[in-house]
Amino acid sequence: MIDQQERARVGVSIRQATKSYGPFRALDDVSLDVAQGEFVSILGPSGSGKTTLLGILGGFVQPSAGSIWLGNRDITFEPPHKREIGIVFQNYALFPHMSVGENITFPLRARRLPKATWPDRLASALEMVELTGYENRKIHELSGGQRQRVALARAMIFEPGLILMDEPLSALDKQLRENMQIELKRLHKRLGSTIIYVTHDQREALTMSDRVAIMNRGKLVQVDTPERLHDHPANTFVARFIGEATLLPVQRESDSVVRLGQQALKTAHPMPAGSNLHLVVHSEKLVVADGSEPEASNRLSGTVTDTLYQGESIRVFVKLDDGGEMSFRLPSNHAGRALMKSPGEAITLALHPEDTVIVPEAG
Amino acid sequence: MLLAPALLVVVVLLVLPLLWLAWQSVRQDGGFTLAHYERFLTDPVYWMTFLQTFRIAAIVTAMTVLLGYPVAYVAAGLSQRWSIVVLTMVLLPFWTSVLVRAYAWLILLQRNGIINSALTGSGLIDAPLKLVNNEFGTVMATIHILLPFMVLPLYATMKKIPGELTMAGASLGGSPLHVFLRVFLPLSLPGMIAGMVLVFVLTLGFYITPELLGGGRTYMVSMLVSRNIEVYNEWGAASSISVVLMVCVFLIFRLVSLLIPFERIMGTR
């Protein structure tokens, strides 16, 4: 038996996990180390292998190759009920025939813990998710957010070293989802458990995680901090997936310069290998060139094609003289409006070399 | 308005005959009488027949649960294609006449039938077993005929239990047995109760299997009705028995509907 202290501190190690269904590889040689106490999101489009990875971690899917470690314990062939991993399912998977209290104490009953210890643990679990006094409620009497929190309390009451969350917020409306994101983050800070969080919502992943693992077609494409992912995507797939980016094909000129049509663009970052290169332009990195921008900035000229008022900002679409279309944002304040152009007018935009990101085509 | 034709059919073909039946049971020689009902209290053949009928119904119900639950469980766990195969196999006998199936059992179970000759031929037994013309044969054939009524509601209920629930149970530390007893079984209970009600009630009114396979020793309520008409030409007595049986069935439905809603028994929800 692992003692409490030890159990609360385990990290997870996925080593070269592969899952094949006939010739199809749902998971292709995935290795990922998650430190104890870390919050890592698995982000990817549907069919990217997220669910398979989660199934392998939970013990519901057997990997075709590779191994899974929880701390220094090889759990690859452990059945789910012996893994000590708390899982919060997409639709919460609460037991409809049990009350809130019975749901939350299910792990204690399953472990045959003495009944005398239940009330204290139930009370503190309910307090943790701010549902004190709800233990006798029926599941169908709860709102979506409350169900979510019951599922969370149930997955945490047995103090698992690792908690898996499978799109736990996807069934909630936007407002509630954002509140729960903050709540989850706070809870994670307080409890210090290791969390692997599966989502297809990039904003959610960026907001909550210490690191984000991007998956595509069964492979890990990039595992990085949210900042690194956003500012330095590994390839065109990540760049398209994260943020509001326009990708424009460019030609390599030298180790620090690319060419977009006739225009030479400097970058402050190492040039990726290969010939199939793309410039990643995030709309927030572009500014209108009015002479106040740094001298070293790259300049892109074009014609305004459309403007879109979006409340806090105005999105301006520009057709570049050297081909390609992109958009940038102006704050919808006085200074922003002063720089506004109408459709049809010429405009010059500045992009700092630090913000000039070149990525290779996704393989 | 759209209900009118159906309503008319029910009233003309069901309600009116039933009322006529009830009317018959309290009439004798042009006057009102409770004589037919008094017989339930005085004639031991009556209440012993009811007792045997209820006992057979209970045995058949219990056996269909034991046999049907695993079938439904397996079918519900299989992929769409294979569960259709299993369910088709369950339903296949359903498409042949009850009479044919009862005679088939007679051939299988009789003294020099297939089962007995196989057993004596292999030396397992010396003398043929008495498998038919008794309660055993009746129960056996009735179970076979009514099994689909247990499997189908069970299957429908089990299909609606999300797979995530058993996965959640396992991830929370429940062994497969624990998860089955605490999660799956309670959630499949409505289907089981529905199946039990259907099988129990249908057995109460069964006629062909006790008549053909009971060998005169198994006397069920439906046979009491037919004897009264065929042998004694006593329509009043036959009607009173039918009315009492019908009241029993109504009571069973009423009692069970206190447990689970009626719509669920009939599988409409």
- B84-126 per-position pLDDT tens digit: 999 999 888 888 888 999 899 998 998 888 888 888 888 888 8
Cα separation values, A286 from A307, A317, A318, A327, B218, Å: 15, 12, 11, 9, 92
Identify the closest residue of chain B to A57 by CA–CA distance.
B171
Taking the C-alpha atoms of residue B57 and residue B68, their distance in angstroms, rounded to an integer, is 16
- Contacts with B179 from chain A: Cβ below 8 Å: 81
Task: Please enumerate in sequence order all residues whose Cβ is within 8 A of that of A96, keeping only pairs 6 or more positions apart, or say none.
Answer: A139, A140, B187
Q: What is the mean pLDDT of chain B?
A: 89
Of the partner residues A87, A97, A109, the one whose CB lies closest to the CB of residue B187: A97
The mean pLDDT of A252-256, rounded to a whole number, is: 89
Taking the C-alpha atoms of residue B210 and residue B205, their distance in angstroms, rounded to an integer, is 10
* Separation of first and last alpha carbons in chain A: 45
Q: How confident is the model at residue A6 (pLDDT cuts 50, 70, 90)?
A: very low
Cα separation values, A236 from A121, A229, A233, A361, B50, Å: 48, 12, 7, 5, 79
Max CA separation in chain A (angstroms)? 77
Q: What is the mean pLDDT of chain A?
A: 89
CA distance B173 to chain A (A): 4
Residue A363: is its pLDDT beyond 80? no
* Separation of first and last alpha carbons in chain B: 24
Say what the pLDDT of residue A233 is. Answer: 92
SS3 category, A85: strand
Q: Give the DSSP letter of residue A361.
A: P
Residue A318: is its pLDDT beyond 70? yes
**Residue B66 dihedral angles phi and psi, to the nearest 5°:** -60, -40
Q: How confident is the model at residue B241 (pLDDT cuts 50, 70, 90)?
A: very high
The residue ranges of every structural domain in chain B are: 35-265
Taking the C-alpha atoms of residue A74 and residue A76, their distance in angstroms, rounded to an integer, is 6
What single string gives the DSSP state of each residue in A307-322?
Answer: EEE-SSEEEEEEEETT
Say what the pLDDT of residue B32 is. Answer: 87
Pairing relationship of beta strands A162-166 and A194-199 according to DSSP bridges = parallel
Provide the b/e sequence for A211-237 (b: ≥16 CB within 10 Å): bbbbbbbbbbbbbbebeebbbbbbbbb
Question: A230-239, B167-176, B253-262: which range is least confident on average?
Answer: B253-262
Torsion of CA A323, A326, A332, A335, to 10 degrees: -50
Are A319 and A303 contacting, i.e. CB atoms less than 8 angstroms apart? yes
| Residue B160 sits at the chain A interface (C-beta within 8 Å) | no
Q: What is the CATH number of domain A4-230?
A: 3.40.50.300
Q: Contacts by A171-180 with C-beta closer than 8 Å and gap 24+?
A: A171/A90, A171/A91, A171/A92, A171/A144, A172/A144, A172/A145, A172/A148, A173/A144, A176/A144, A176/A145, A177/A204, A179/A145, A180/A145, A180/A148
Q: How confident is the model at residue A5 (pLDDT cuts 50, 70, 90)?
A: very low
The mean pLDDT of A117-130, rounded to a whole number, is: 92
- Contacts with A110 from chain B: Cβ below 8 Å: 169, 172-175, 178, 182
SS3 category, B133: coil
Delimiting residues of CATH 3.40.50.300 domain(s) in chain A: 4-230
* Rg, chain B, Cα only: 22
Say what the pLDDT of residue B266 is. Answer: 55
Interchain proximity A93–B164, CB inside 8 Å: yes
Interchain proximity B168–A85, CB inside 8 Å: no
- Give chain A's count of helices (H) and strands (E): 11, 20
The mean pLDDT of B240-267, rounded to a whole number, is: 81
Checking ipTM against 0.90, whether it exceeds it is no
Are B241 and B225 contacting, i.e. CB atoms less than 8 angstroms apart? yes
Taking the C-alpha atoms of residue B131 and residue B137, their distance in angstroms, rounded to an integer, is 6
- Contacts with A86 from chain B: Cβ below 8 Å: 171-172
Task: Please enumerate in sequence order all residues whose Cβ is within 8 A of that of B209, keeping only pairs 6 or more positions apart, or say none.
Answer: B98, B102, B105, B138, B141, B142, B145
Delimiting residues of CATH 2.40.50.100 domain(s) in chain A: 244-360
Q: Give the DSSP letter of residue A99.
A: B
E-assigned strand segments in B141-240:
none
Taking the C-alpha atoms of residue B183 and residue B194, their distance in angstroms, rounded to an integer, is 19
Strand partners, A326: A318
Task: Please enumerate in sequence order all residues whose Cβ is within 8 A of that of B4, keeping only pairs 6 or more positions apart, or say none.
Answer: none
Torsion of CA B205, B209, B212, B214, to 10 degrees: -90
| Residue B180 sits at the chain A interface (C-beta within 8 Å) | no
Say what the pLDDT of residue A128 is. Answer: 85
Domain B35-265 architecture: Orthogonal Bundle (1.10)
A-B Cβ pairs (cutoff 8 Å, strict): 71
Taking the C-alpha atoms of residue A268 and residue A357, their distance in angstroms, rounded to an integer, is 8
Over residues B27-63, the pLDDT tens digits come to 888 888 888 888 888 889 888 999 999 999 999 999 9
Taking the C-alpha atoms of residue B219 and residue B48, their distance in angstroms, rounded to an integer, is 9
**Residue A74 dihedral angles phi and psi, to the nearest 5°:** -80, 110
Identify the closest residue of chain B to A111 by CA–CA distance.
B173
The mean pLDDT of A141-162, rounded to a whole number, is: 91
Q: Go through chain B and tell me how many residues it has.
A: 269
CA distance A122 to chain B (A): 15
Place of tokens 């007792």: B51
Q: How confident is the model at residue B265 (pLDDT cuts 50, 70, 90)?
A: low
Are B241 and B224 contacting, i.e. CB atoms less than 8 angstroms apart? yes
Interchain proximity B165–A93, CB inside 8 Å: yes
| Residue B162 sits at the chain A interface (C-beta within 8 Å) | yes
SS3 category, A45: coil
Alpha helices in A80-141 (DSSP H): 100-104, 106-110, 118-128
Q: Give the DSSP letter of residue A213.
A: E
What single string gives the DSSP state of each residue in B20-47?
Answer: HHHHHHTEETTEE--HHHHHHHH-HHHH
- Contacts with A60 from chain B: Cβ below 8 Å: 167, 170
Interchain proximity A81–B187, CB inside 8 Å: no
What single string gives the DSSP state of each residue in A65-76?
Answer: EEEEEETTEE-T
Say what the pLDDT of residue B264 is. Answer: 58
CA distance B235 to chain A (A): 50
Q: Which residues of A touch B (CB under 8 A)?
A: 58-60, 79-87, 89-91, 93-97, 106-107, 109-111, 154-155, 158
Of the partner residues A81, A87, A97, the one whose CB lies closest to the CB of residue B174: A81
Say what the pLDDT of residue B263 is. Answer: 63
Q: Contacts by B260-263 with C-beta closer than 8 Å and gap 24+?
A: B260/B190, B260/B193, B260/B194
Q: How confident is the model at residue B171 (pLDDT cuts 50, 70, 90)?
A: very high
Taking the C-alpha atoms of residue A226 and residue A354, their distance in angstroms, rounded to an integer, is 18
Are B192 and B152 contacting, i.e. CB atoms less than 8 angstroms apart? no
CA distance B183 to chain A (A): 7
Task: Please enumerate in sequence order all residues whose Cβ is within 8 A of that of B124, keeping only pairs 6 or more positions apart, or say none.
Answer: none
- Answer whether CATH 2.40.50.100 is correct for domain A244-360: yes
Say what the pLDDT of residue A9 is. Answer: 53
